[in-house]
Chains A and B, each alone.
Chain A
């Protein structure tokens, strides 16, 4: 309580895990196979569909997303353009589909580095403790004293708008959450009997970490990664809105909302639809994360 807090999503999830589940008493609870886990399945379906849309964008989009057609600018939805056209006459539906490609790709990729770096650093800090742990925790404190967005915006600005800057900025800022979670997990895991037994048996730290502890604790990082991807996609879209994201004219949901905001009074769909796309994406990922959480760590739910 008195040390640095973890991101709100993590804390809320931890709080939920700690609460007793009154509806299903422990006795009658059996671990369902994954395909019967409703949340997980729905999440997978949504995410799967979105990924499919992104992958098959060239086949699905009726028009070229960057092709301008100024004579047909700002059309309402109709037979020719199912979702209408934007201020440059570009087909909104096509831009939406191609935008999925951009936002989803960056969102998924942006998680990789923080996941790897944060997990390793946090695990080592938790397992070995000592001065390394103290240093890592101080660094984490400093990062947590900054709201996520402030750092990301400044960093992207420093590095110049564009895709690689986004990866770097997000990586620089979000690794700390993984570190904090992993450290907590390791602090608990290293006290378990099976670790003591392995040490007594002469196993090296490396082997213990890789073979015994990793499978148990990685699930937590994986579950957090799902909510982290949501945060990243929201950040990417926000950066797009601020003009700090992918350069135009590439279709991206955030910049689409920015373009649409001008015409909120006449063509309000343009600002609304990309946002809805983000909401659906986040919903799918959140369900996936919750489903995984149910599946991979049910014993935590008392």
Chain B
């Protein structure tokens, strides 16, 4: 029976620095930059949400951290420090050794993310066999245990099923079981609940919370859904057009945003606590990757825009204790929503 605490470090982790530090990360293709100088920190055990629309670069940021960029897309600058060591300059073999026992990923669409011709139990067992040196039978037992931990009923029988034989919610639980099977310290989730029914979404979110609490695993949760971040995470980074525009504790950011885009998101999202509030959509559309000019990318749609905004890119700066925002006019957003 494996312990529920993260295993004592297998890789030299510097515990004096945040577990994950992304510094000026840029990702793009030969024609365009999609992620532009993104920086944020994740502390050990912390649950951080990365929020943004489609095209904001949030998924690619996650994939760059995991080293799973699609063909044709590369990291063009910056560093990704895990426990003090830059993953991007690490030898490939060493980096691969981290994937599973240290860093694991949960994908959005479990139907395509699971190997259709392999039994799910075997897929869960693959990581432990490779990284923890378990034999076939032991790894199979571990897989069943993991499935039970993620709330899958009748796990021993289900382990022999193929992905297409299971429902969407079960498949996502399998993905989660697979991800936590080696006891990672950092869990990267790319919209894991977006493809699920609403009722199932809640269950899966609670499962993730519980697992992370029990094992002290840090979580980076990419989503476009503010309610999910509100529920599950303690910190949030808001991304727009490849930049982080605001950062801070969830409660503070969502009650008193310091960036016009965040404010716009909050005002346009349904709020179950105040169903009568009028929804105000953000005018315009996010910019095309190819035509991002100088200056703040949100300027064309911003209600607080001034001339400087169009010519200079506002830096991500501390505007209050623990709060970062990339806006020249952040003071004007003083009022709480």
User: Which residues of A pack against B, CB within 8 Å?
Assistant: 22-23, 25, 27-28
Report the separation of the CA atoms of residues A23 and B29 in the bound assembly, to the nearest whole angstrom.
Answer: 11
Partner of A23, one of B31, B72, B289: B72
Cross-chain contact A22 with B70 (CB below 8 angstroms)? yes
Interface status of B71 (Cβ within 8 A of chain A): yes
Q: List 12 A-B contacts (CB under 8 A).
A: A22-B70, A22-B71, A22-B72, A23-B71, A23-B72, A25-B29, A25-B72, A27-B31, A27-B289, A27-B290, A28-B29, A28-B31
A28, closest chain B residue (CB): B31
Q: Determine the chain B residues whose CB is within 8 A of the CB of A25 once the complex forms.
A: 29, 72
By a CB distance below 8 angstroms, the chain A residues around B290 are 27
User: In the complex, given contacts A22-B72, A27-B289, what are 4 additional A-B residue pairs having Cβ atoms less than 8 angstroms apart?
Assistant: A25-B29, A25-B72, A28-B29, A28-B31
What residues make up the interface of B, taking CB atoms closer than 8 Å to A? 29, 31, 70-72, 289-290
Assembled-state Cα–Cα distance A27/B31 (Å)? 10
Of all chain A residues, which has the CB nearest B73? A25
How long is the Cα–Cα vector from A69 to B29 in the complex, in angstroms? Answer: 67
**Which A residues lie within 8 Å of B289 (CB)?**
27
Q: Which residues of B contact A22 (CB under 8 A)?
A: 70-72
B288 nearest in chain A by CB position = A27
CA distance in complex: A22, B73 (Å): 10
Total residue contacts A-B, CB cutoff 8 A: 12
Report the bound CA distance from A25 to B289 in whole Å.
13
Shortest C-beta distance, A21 to chain B (Å), equals 10
Whole-angstrom CA separation of A23 from B290 in the bound complex: 18
Complex Cα gap A28–B73 (Å): 13
Q: Once bound together, how far apart are the Cα atoms of A227 and B174, in whole Å?
A: 47
**A22 closest partner in B (C-beta):** B71
Using Cβ atoms and an 8 Å threshold, which residues of chain A touch B70?
A: 22
- Taken together as a complex, chains A and B put the C-alpha atoms of A28 and B32 apart, in Å, by 10
Residues of A within 8 A of B71 (CB): 22-23
What chain B residues lie within 8 Å of A27 (beta carbons)? 31, 289-290
| A25–B30 alpha-carbon span in the complex (Å) | 11
CB distance from B16 to the nearest CB of A (A): 41
- Distance between Cα atoms of A27 and B290 in the complex (Å): 10
Q: Pick the 7 closest A-B CB pairs, nearest first.
A: A22-B71, A28-B31, A25-B72, A22-B72, A25-B29, A23-B72, A23-B71
Bound-complex Cα distance A22 to B29 (A): 12
How far, in whole Å, are A105 and B240 apart by their CA atoms in the complex?
63
| Interfacial chain B residues near A23, Cβ < 8 Å | 71-72
Residue of A nearest to B29 (CB): A25
Residues in B whose Cβ lies below 8 Å from that of A28: 29, 31
Complex Cα–Cα for A287 and B289 (A) = 35
- Closest chain B residue to A24, Cβ basis: B72
Closest to B31 in A: A28
Q: How far is the CB of B2 from chain A (nearest CB, A)?
A: 38
B99 to chain A, nearest CB (A): 22
Distance in Å from the Cβ of B35 to the closest Cβ of chain A? 16
Q: How far is the CA of A277 from the CA of B79 in the complex (A)?
A: 57
| Complex Cα spacing A22 to B71, Å | 6
Contacting residues, chain A, for B31 (C-beta < 8 A): 27-28
A301 CB, min distance to chain B CBs, angstroms: 15
- Please, how many angstroms separate the alpha-carbon atoms of A185 and B70 in the complex? 33
User: Would you give the shortest CB distance from A20 to chain B, in whole angstroms?
Assistant: 10
Q: What is the minimal beta-carbon distance from A19 to any residue of chain B, in angstroms?
A: 13
> Quick one: closest B residue to A25, CB to CB?
B72
CA distance A27 to B72 in the complex (A): 12
Complex: A188 Cα to B29 Cα, angstroms: 35
Shortest C-beta distance, A27 to chain B (Å), equals 8
| CB of A206 to closest CB in B, whole Å | 44
Give Cα distance in the complex from A111 to B29, angstroms: 45
Cβ distance B44 to chain A, nearest Cβ, rounded Å: 36
Shortest Cβ distance from residue A24 to the other chain B in the assembled complex, whole angstroms = 8
- How distant is the Cα of A238 from the Cα of B31 in the complex, in angstroms? 50
Return A270 CB to nearest CB of chain B, in Å. Answer: 48
A25 and B31 CA atoms in complex are apart in Å by 10
Cβ contacts under 8 Å, B72 to chain A: 22-23, 25
Min C-beta distance of B312 to chain A, whole Å: 28
| Separation of A249 and B161 alpha carbons in the complex (Å) | 68
Task: State the Cβ distance, B234 to closest chain A Cβ, in Å.
Answer: 36
Nearest chain B CB to A159's CB is how many angstroms away?
A: 50
Cα–Cα distance between A103 and B290 once the two chains are bound (Å): 52
Cα(A9)–Cα(B71), bound, Å: 28
How many angstroms from the CA of A173 to the CA of B72 in the assembled complex?
A: 45
Name the distance in Å between A54's Cβ and chain B's nearest Cβ. 44
Q: How far is B72's CA from A23's CA once the two chains are assembled, in angstroms?
A: 6
Provide the bound-state CA to CA distance between A27 and B34, in Å.
13
CA of A289 to CA of B289, assembled, Å: 35
Nearest neighbor of B70 in chain A, beta-carbon distance: A22
Complex CA gap A22/B72 in Å reads 7
Bound complex: CA of A70 vs CA of B9, how far in Å?
Answer: 88
CB distance from B54 to the nearest CB of A (A): 14
Query: With A and B bound together, what is the CA distance between A102 and B29 in angstroms?
Result: 51
Shortest CB-to-CB span from B49 to chain A, Å, is 28
Whose C-beta in chain B lies nearest to the C-beta of A23? B72
Give Cα A59 to B305, complex, Å.
78
| Distance between Cα atoms of A28 and B290 in the complex (Å) | 10
Closest residue of chain A to B289 (Cβ to Cβ) is: A27
CA distance A183 to B29 in the complex (A): 41
Whole-angstrom CA separation of A27 from B289 in the bound complex: 10
* Docked CA distance A23–B73 (Å): 10
Chain B: CB-nearest residue to A20: B71
Report the Cα distance A22→B70, complex, angstroms.
9
Chain B: minimal CB distance from A297 (Å)? 23
